[in-house]
Amino acid sequence: MDKVYDHKKVEERIYAEWEKNGYFKPEVNPDGRSYSIILPPPNANAPLHFGHAMYVIEDILIRYQRMKGAAALWLPGADHAGFETQFVFEKHLANEGKSRFDYDRETLYQMIWDFVQENRGGMESQLRKLGFSLDWSRMKFTLDPDIISIVYRTFRRLYDDGLVYRAKRLVNYCTYDGTSFSDLEVVYEERKNPLYYIKYGPLTLATTRPETKFGDTAVAVHPDDKRYKKYIGQEIEIKTVLGKAKIKVIADDSVDPEFGTGVVKITPAHDFNDFEVGQRHNLKIRQVIGFDGKMNEHAGKFAGLYVKQARKAVVEEMQKKGLIEKIDDNYIHRIGLCYKCKNVIEPLPREQWFVKMEPLARPAIDAVRKGKIEVHPKSFEKIYFQFLENIRDWNISRQIVWGIRIPAWFCEKCLNWTVTDGITPEKCLKCESKTIAQDPDTFDTWFSSAQWPFATLLTQSSSKSKIKNQKSKIENSLDYERFYPTTVMETGYDILRWWVARMVIVGIYATGKVPFENVVLHGLVKDPYGKKMSKSKGNVVNPIEVVEQYGADAVRFALVYGTALGNDQALSYAKLQGMRNFTNKLWNIGRFIEMNRVSSIQYRVSSIEELKKIAKRKNDKEWVAKVDELTNQLTNNLDNYQFNLAAERLYEFIWHEFADKYIEDVKIRIDKDSYLILTTLYLILLRLLHPFMPFITEELCRKLGAKDSIMVSSWPAK
RNA sequence: GGGCUCAUAGCUCAGUUGGUUAGAGCGUUACAUUGACAUUGUAAAGGUCAGAGGUUCGACUCCUCUUGAGCCCACCA
């Protein structure tokens, strides 16, 4: 054996052997009880970040359960990552002097598909380098046809149950490019624009957008503002450029009494904040700017003018009529611009699909209240409940092409929607007209990933009965029968609301069962200075580079050691080095045993019970008892998701008890019996350590003559 | 503005349901060492557990307030 442990000689070879031997499949324990975890699918075409390395927690659980005899399934997947991927692709296009507007929808989709396929495989090989014992034969992609068909079906059911409706919602719209943009695609810039103080009957308010006044459906003041208290709830009469009008005065907390005059005009159709206020007060949404960027019929004689022209004309008219009190020319504010053409982004109302959440959220709240789902650490339950108890309807429409297109067709004749399981209908279901067009929007990525636990299990090709596309009834697969509900959903706490809560909601709705029995939440890995890693800050550390430097086992151990579950940690090179040193210590214990090996001894004894009978010396007996106690502690820790305590205990015991004391003791009195006990105890320790450090424990077992892989050995306690 | 988390040794962090002298790693100091391992060993120094008050026989642990740090959500007309 080498004097120093070299992970580079070990890890790749061992992983390949494990995979070849099929040890990652639940079938290695065909009669075991079911234990399952679905891997939160990483972005298919992006490299892993350090947060993904935290999935080591899932590997620890899976390896532990597998050793305990469970039919343990850890199912991998890849996410198409909706607009993040489309955004990256478009940057790529921009480098070639092209943009998404140069292609039709189908071509663009195909190009992104090819782009993702080219980059795929990267994150899979990185997960392998971390030693993750994922069952690759069951890998799923969020855009696999069978997954898509399940997503269609769920939408269809929601629609048929009356839980989906159309409603207006503002989008960032560029009237020049003729398309809407995600928040990511809006660039903000500080601009100096005139702030107009306009007379509204008895009130005066400040605005930068006088031309949108035709869309005003209220004016608002702060509820505690004494100046205006008497107007709240009243309809005031105002003089406008189009004649006289009446408008309601409402009170809303969002109004800043310090800004301008403390009075705000509310234009729900053309301002994100006003839209929210409008929702709260049930205001009408009156659109006055069209998707062509021109004023519409509500603007009276200003109709047909572009926004900029209209603003100028409206201001001139107001000045003539004495409706402008003053103009502040030094007002600076941030406005949204189209990242592509730099024109001002116009918030415009657009009809989109919404899911009614309140009735769906109730069973999800109950599931946790009644203990059908346990959250670890428990403190995160608060966030879960808070989200679900104040839930708002879910907008599931996204104006991008990279995703699952919504299976809904609009009839131009009778104005009704036809929703299907994904099959293109020949005619409108209501009036049989053939002039129907599919909704150009795609589903919010979270809408499909909310179905991930049951969708991945239902669509396994190894299953007996496959999904039949044309029927609306979902036939259960073998894997679904066996592994659903899954045992654990483990992910970062930052997506508890967006993903975990929605999986519970949609899972219960679609299957009648909770999607998982336990939620385990880990914290964030930050940079060495405790700052959040982000591309824009340039402080992202590639986990695979760290693995190559310190070894996967050391990295894995460092991530769970010394940080309680759910707490953030700063990446620490000192800690990584310490853990690398620990792997070396472990290696040298093995080396010591190997060097002193007595050839006549067969290291076969494996149970602690047997050892208790064999140990005769008082010292040996004590050490057998200590390992027995350690085993029980670890079992208890792992059953309670206390990974840090388990890791700390192992480190402490192996190094400062077993090596520093027991080996030093045995060294002096070298005799056969003691070596047998020593070696056997060591092999037990390696098994206890295996879920945390799979590679080195495997290699050491082999060096000490084990014939079978440590992966198919059993956990030393029940 | 609403909510959450954190504050323990110089640094990074542990500390099950409140229970004797509060732990680890790194760092520091002294010594040892061609011996499984210098990616080592033995030993030492170092903390009024952010502050104040309360509950209790007993509080790092539970409650309230204050201060400081970070995160999430909502928003800047």
Minimum-distance nucleotide, CA of A530 to C1' = B70
* A435 and A337 assigned to the same domain: no
* A190 and A337 assigned to the same domain: yes
> Tokens for A273?
């904040």
Other residues' Cβ atoms within 10 Å of the Cβ of residue A607? 13
* A190 and A324 assigned to the same domain: yes
* A165: alpha, beta or left? (left if phi > 0; alpha if psi -120 to 50): beta
What residue is closest to B4 (Cα–C1')? A383
CA A532 / C1′ B14 distance in Å: 22
* A417 and A289 assigned to the same domain: no
- Length in residues, chain A: 718
Most confident option among A46-55, A138-147, A278-287 = A138-147
CA A657 / C1′ B34 distance in Å: 26
Minimum-distance nucleotide, CA of A260 to C1' = B77
Q: Is residue A485 part of a domain?
A: no
* A578 and A673 assigned to the same domain: yes
* A197 and A341 assigned to the same domain: yes
Pairing of strands A346-355, A164-174: antiparallel
Asked if the model's pLDDT at residue A622 lies above 60, the reply is yes
CA A595 / C1′ B48 distance in Å: 52
Q: Is residue A642 part of a domain?
A: yes
Segment among A399-408, A428-437, A607-616 with least mean pLDDT: A607-616
CA A713 / C1′ B27 distance in Å: 40
Please state, in angstroms and as integers, the Cα–Cα distance from residue A568 to each residue in A130, A217, A528, following that order: 20, 46, 12
ipTM for the complex? 0.89
Asked if the model's pLDDT at residue A600 lies above 60, the reply is no
Euclidean distance between CA atoms A378 and A534, whole angstroms: 28
Contact A105, A440 (CB under 8 A): yes
DSSP summary character for residue A496:
I
List the Cα angle A367/A372/A374 in 5-degree steps. 95
> Tokens for A523?
């914290």
Q: What's at A421, amino acid-wise?
A: D
Strand B, nucleotides < 7 Å from a protein CB: these are 1, 3-6, 12-16, 23-26, 36-42, 70-72, 74-77
**Residue A273's domain is classified under what CATH number?**
3.90.740.10
What residue is closest to B38 (Cα–C1')? A581
Q: Is residue A300 part of a domain?
A: yes
CA A376 / C1′ B72 distance in Å: 19
Of all residues in chain A, the percent with pLDDT exceeding 90 is 45
CA A564 / C1′ B51 distance in Å: 26
Domain edge (last residue) among A346, A364, A395: A346
Euclidean distance between CA atoms A257 and A264, whole angstroms: 9
CA A652 / C1′ B45 distance in Å: 22
Helix H segments across A407-466? 445-449, 452-458
A221 DSSP β-pair partners: A251, A263
Please state, in angstroms and as integers, the Cα–Cα distance from residue A707 to each residue in A133, A603, A609, A714, following that order: 20, 11, 22, 14
Q: Is residue A40 part of a domain?
A: no
DSSP of A649-663: HHHIIIIIIIIIIII
Minimum-distance nucleotide, CA of A206 to C1' = B77
* A293 and A427 assigned to the same domain: no
Q: Show Cβ contacts of residue A661 under 8 Å, excluding neighbours closer than 6 positions.
A: none
Model confidence at A535, pLDDT cuts 50, 70, 90, reads confident
pLDDT score for A463: 46
CA A652 / C1′ B39 distance in Å: 17
Please state, in angstroms and as integers, the Cα–Cα distance from residue A465 to each residue in A323, A462, A500, following that order: 73, 9, 28
Across residues A629-637, what is the average pLDDT?
90
Across residues A408-423, what is the average pLDDT?
93
Asked if the model's pLDDT at residue A68 lies above 80, the reply is yes
List the Cα angle A115/A120/A122 in 5-degree steps. 130
Nearest in space to A59 (alpha carbons), one of A555, A700, A716: A555
What residue is closest to B2 (Cα–C1')? A386
CA A548 / C1′ B31 distance in Å: 36
Q: Is residue A197 part of a domain?
A: yes
Minimum-distance nucleotide, CA of A333 to C1' = B76
- Cα-trace Rg, chain A: 32
* A304 and A425 assigned to the same domain: no
Euclidean distance between CA atoms A96 and A105, whole angstroms: 19
Euclidean distance between CA atoms A426 and A434, whole angstroms: 7
Helix H segments across A96-208? 105-119, 122-129, 145-160
Asked if the model's pLDDT at residue A126 lies above 80, the reply is yes
* A189 and A332 assigned to the same domain: yes
Asked if the model's pLDDT at residue A602 lies above 50, the reply is yes
| pLDDT, averaged across chain A | 88
Euclidean distance between CA atoms A233 and A84, whole angstroms: 44
Please state, in angstroms and as integers, the Cα–Cα distance from residue A41 to each residue in A75, A123, A481, A493, A656, following that order: 9, 10, 22, 15, 39
Between A16 and A387, the higher pLDDT residue: A16
- The tally of domains found in chain A comes to 3
Minimum-distance nucleotide, CA of A212 to C1' = B77
DSSP of A258-315: TSTTSEEEE-TTS-HHHHHHHHHHT------B-TTSBB-GGGGGGTT-BHHHHHHHHH
Euclidean distance between CA atoms A449 and A502, whole angstroms: 9
Element spanning A91, H or E? helix A82-95
Model confidence at A417, pLDDT cuts 50, 70, 90, reads very high
Please state, in angstroms and as integers, the Cα–Cα distance from residue A334 to each residue in A190, A231, A268, following that order: 4, 31, 19
Contact A265, A195 (CB under 8 A): no
Nearest in space to A685 (alpha carbons), one of A640, A716, A663: A716
pLDDT score for A62: 97
Euclidean distance between CA atoms A143 and A128, whole angstroms: 22
Pairing of strands A203-207, A34-38: unpaired
Q: Show Cβ contacts of residue A438 under 8 Å, excluding neighbours closer than 6 positions.
A: A405, A406, A407, A408, A409, A410, A424
Minimum-distance nucleotide, CA of A3 to C1' = B37
pTM, two decimals, is: 0.88
CA A637 / C1′ B8 distance in Å: 23
* A269: alpha, beta or left? (left if phi > 0; alpha if psi -120 to 50): alpha
Q: Is residue A553 part of a domain?
A: no
Q: Is residue A215 part of a domain?
A: yes
CA A565 / C1′ B9 distance in Å: 23
Across residues A63-85, what is the average pLDDT?
93
* A292 and A215 assigned to the same domain: yes
pLDDT score for A73: 97
User: Do you find a cis peptide bond into A47, omega within 30 degrees of 0?
Assistant: no
Euclidean distance between CA atoms A288 and A551, whole angstroms: 62
Contact A155, A443 (CB under 8 A): yes
Minimum-distance nucleotide, CA of A586 to C1' = B37
Range of the domain at A618: 570-703
* A198 and A335 assigned to the same domain: yes
Across residues A456-465, what is the average pLDDT?
72
Minimum-distance nucleotide, CA of A267 to C1' = B77
Euclidean distance between CA atoms A574 and A558, whole angstroms: 10
Q: Is residue A489 part of a domain?
A: no
* A194 and A326 assigned to the same domain: yes
